[in-house]
Structure formats: structure tokens, C-alpha cells
Amino acid sequence: MSELDIYSRQNFGNSVGFGHRAALVLVDFTNGFNDPALFGGGNIDAAVKRTVGLLAAFRERHLPVVFTRVVYAADGSDASLFTRKAPGLRMLTEDHPAGAIVPELAPIAGEYMVRKTQASAFFGTGLAPWLIQQGADTVVVTGATTSGCVRATVVDALGYNFRPIVVRDCVGDRAIGPHEANLFDMAQKYADVLDRDDVIAALGAAV
């Protein structure tokens, strides 16, 4: 029996589908997470490049767009146990170049910026109320890393009853094994996992 058969027998892997209005959440697509010498590597740069067209599709349809950044105080006063596991994260202060959004995906006016100190974009932030204010019931999630901040954001999105859609070719990880394992697991328990072009087609069908 394959792994997929096990989940299928237990009736996992059902679809959450798209709701009435989708928001795009770009998780930590920053210079540092796109730099193999810092926090990147693997297929993250490829995911950045695939996300350019998806971001354009959301902007063309005037749908909500959210960016997230890891941002710690320069004096380390808000550093947490998360930074005990990964001390290098403490360099990601407000003005450090590694914490800036990659140039290919630069935010524009009207797009929401989440500054976070934990993995999830929802933990201790105003993201959930902002999405409700925008009338969004679906979150299309891209970013890095698949096994870390993307997964944490997806799990919390489901907990808030937003419909999570993970874009398979627009998320990346520094190592491919965790990337693939977490895509599989999220597809079975927490989200729909779709290719970018299928997401864009679904947005067009909803217009």
C-alpha cells in the first residue's frame, strides 16, 4: 500500500476549493531567503520567478495582496526561542537588506505588509482582521520556506477558517526533501496544492 493509499483510505486529501474572494500571501520572499549564503538555496529562486506572473494576475484583478517579512528589533529585545533554533534570523531587522522583499516582487501602494517574529504570518499580527476587512475567504500562499513559514501560515489560515491554496511551483525550500514532504502533507490535511497556472485560471473563472 502506498503512502497516498493510506491517506485515501482514511478519507484525507479532500479539497477546500476557492471561496468568493482570494488574497495572495507572499511569505518571506526576501533577499535573505533567496540567498543560499544566508537562508536560501534549493528551489527558492525558481519559486520567486514563477510568482512574478501570479502577482501580476492578482494585481490585474484588484485582489488583496499581502507580503510578510521577518523583522526583529535591532537591540534583540523581541527575539524569541525561534532565534535560539536559528540565531541568524536576528539579523533581519527593519533596515537590514536581507530582510527586504526581493526586487522582482516589490510591493506597491495598497498592498499589506506583515512584520512577524514567528513562523506563521498570523501569529501576533493583524493579518486575519485585515483579510476579513478585505472580504477575503481564500488565501493563496506562496513563499519560503515550504517546510517552515509557508506551512505554519497555511495551518493557521485553516485554523481561522480561510481556505488555503498552496501554489506548488511558487513555494520553495532550501532542501528539496522537506519541500516535497510538506507539499504532500499539506495537500492531505490542510490545503489544496495547485500549480500556478491552474490558480490563475481559477481566478479568471471567478471574475
Residue 123 resides in a domain: yes
| pTM recorded for the entire structure | 0.96
Catalytic residue (one of 25, 71, 149, 193): 149
For residue 126, what are the domain limits? 20-69+102-206
Over residues 161-186, the pLDDT tens digits come to 999 999 999 999 999 999 999 999 99
| Within-domain flag for 13 | no
Q: What is the pLDDT of residues 15-40, one digit of tens each?
A: 999 999 999 999 999 999 999 999 99
- Long-range contacts made by residues 52-61, C-beta under 8 angstroms, separation at least 24? 52/104, 52/105, 53/196, 53/200, 54/24, 54/140, 54/142, 54/167, 54/170, 54/196, 54/199, 54/200, 55/24, 55/26, 55/105, 57/200, 57/203, 58/22, 58/24, 58/140, 58/203, 59/108, 61/203, 61/207
- Domain-located, residue 28: yes
pLDDT tens, N- to C-terminus, the chain (207 residues): 789 999 999 999 999 999 999 999 999 999 999 999 999 999 999 999 999 999 999 999 999 999 999 999 999 999 989 999 999 999 999 999 999 999 999 999 999 999 999 999 999 999 999 999 999 999 999 999 999 999 999 999 999 999 999 999 999 999 999 999 999 999 999 999 999 999 999 998 764
**For the chain, percent of residues with pLDDT exceeding 90:** 97
In a domain, 151, yes or no: yes
| Number of compact structural domains in the chain | 1
Task: Examine residue 64 and state whether it is found in any structural domain, yes or no.
Answer: yes
Residue 80 within a domain: no
Catalytic-residue membership of 170: no
Does residue 185 form part of some domain?
Answer: yes
The domain that holds 65 is classified in CATH as: 3.40.50.850
Q: How much is the pLDDT for 206?
A: 61
Residue 85 lies in a domain: no
What's the distance, CA 128 to chain centroid? 14
Instruction: Please give the pLDDT value at position 1.
Output: 79
